[in-house]
Structure 1
């Protein structure tokens, strides 16, 4: 794998030219809520299948080429094709993403608050789901997929995204400030803050806090905390920490609690995750979607 950094972009390419991944930074006015842009181009000649872990961000993917399939099991639950805009809300279970090996797309990673502002819908509408929002984007924005596809290179595509997101951001509704402060508190503690503390700090009842979280974030506070704890555990496991120490360092009550939660959220035991991670080839297989987080595992393709 070859990696270069230039003009605010990081480019990773296969020496044989069968794939490239390009990361770009959004306009500075967007950086509080837009984590980054990533362009993908694959032409590997065989099916690629990944297990995407729950993360604390909303994903928006614009497809230019062949379709991708998203599912929580062997049978695809959604197929999204060229020209469509696919949004994945916050998830508490890992999902499978599969494509034929030929795919071109760009992904935008958003904080839940920014997604709420940009999309103008309750985040509960897309939580635990993959939704095509192509019909939701109207007026001048309705042609954003065409503009992205027609742009001559990744830098130009990222400029189109800046224009699209800045315009929608200007027209969007601010997320609830108290909910966002509670979300940041969960983030700072990696999901270990007690929900009672969030409730008391906000001055709300448990039910009111839950309802406002679902509106702005998509998940109730307890479910959101599970995602933060899982991400902490994944990072520790990937760094070589023993599972018994991971349980203690990630806010789980004991080893059994950690093992149950990990299996429920990823479909794997901690030891299976480590074996998959250690068995991945270097290069494209290790291009996690978020810096310094474990977001993905490359899996064998399903049998025909």
Structure 2
């Protein structure tokens, strides 16, 4: 069973899921990156541009899902280097540092709690992220156009694109699409009719919503909600 809670790390979520018979699942793009634990191994999930199918990975999992744009500063890796990838933390960090964090997780009664403590220790040693990143996420999540958002932030289009790739793994237009998908799914899951969901989420019409959901999530909206 999947369980999540708000983390003590600002903007983050702590989650866990127990072993299932086949381990199969579908992770939808959300603009975030995760620090993962799976049966003693530490991994990093990069930002996705499409649904990630978990296949048949065995064992229990735990994770800390960082707020969009914050993980690269914590991990010291530009997000675009990890887009659509899952990698061992040992491929990004020195082995001694990975062992130190692993010991923090192993010492906890619950791996999810230990992973959160490890994330808090990482965050204590790095500067706070650029506040313009959270403003960008907030504007795009609210449906603001990219060009207008860039003007409001006082950032040129090219600089905004570079910063977005570093922080989110892709440009602001893709980030806007991902956040619009999440808005639509929240409404549809709450029972809002699909046509109203499309209008309220910023899609041109229901057909536009259907195309984006199929492209980003890999399933038609009705099947996605049923799954």
The TM-score normalised by the length of structure 2 is 0.86
User: Quick one: structure 1 residues 255 and 99, their matched pair in 2 at CA, closer, same or farther if it must change by over 3 Å?
Assistant: same
SS at structure 2 position matched to 1:48: coil
The TM-score normalised by the length of structure 1 is 0.66
| Equivalent residue, structure 2, for 1:269 | 220
User: Quick one: structure 1 residues 51 and 21, their matched pair in 2 at CA, closer, same or farther if it must change by over 3 Å?
Assistant: closer
| Equivalent residue, structure 2, for 1:126 | 82
Aligned length: 226
Gaps of at least 5 residues in structure 2 are none
Q: 1:145 aligns with which of 85, 99, 102?
A: 102
User: Quick one: structure 1 residues 236 and 150, their matched pair in 2 at CA, closer, same or farther if it must change by over 3 Å?
Assistant: same
Cα deviation for residue 117 of structure 1 reads 2.3
User: Quick one: structure 1 residues 122 and 98, their matched pair in 2 at CA, closer, same or farther if it must change by over 3 Å?
Assistant: same
**Cα contact 2:63–2:115 (8 A) shared by 1:** no
- Look at both structures and tell me which one has the larger radius of gyration over its CA atoms: 1
Q: Distance in 2 between matches of 1:105 and 1:146?
A: 17
Cα deviation for residue 96 of structure 1 reads 0.8
Residue by residue, what CA displacement relative to the aligned partner does 1:189-216 show, whole Å, maximum 9, x if unpaired? 0xx1111111111222211111111112
Note the aligned Cα RMSD (angstroms): 2.4
Q: 2:208 aligns with which of 253, 257, 260?
A: 257
**Cα contact 2:34–2:63 (8 A) shared by 1:** yes
User: Quick one: structure 1 residues 146 and 257, their matched pair in 2 at CA, closer, same or farther if it must change by over 3 Å?
Assistant: same
**Cα contact 1:112–1:123 (8 A) shared by 2:** no
User: Quick one: structure 1 residues 162 and 92, their matched pair in 2 at CA, closer, same or farther if it must change by over 3 Å?
Assistant: closer
Q: Distance in 1 between matches of 2:11 and 2:50?
A: 23
- Give the structure with the larger strand fraction: 1
| Equivalent residue, structure 2, for 1:94 | 51
- Give the structure with the larger helix fraction: 2
SS at structure 2 position matched to 1:103: coil
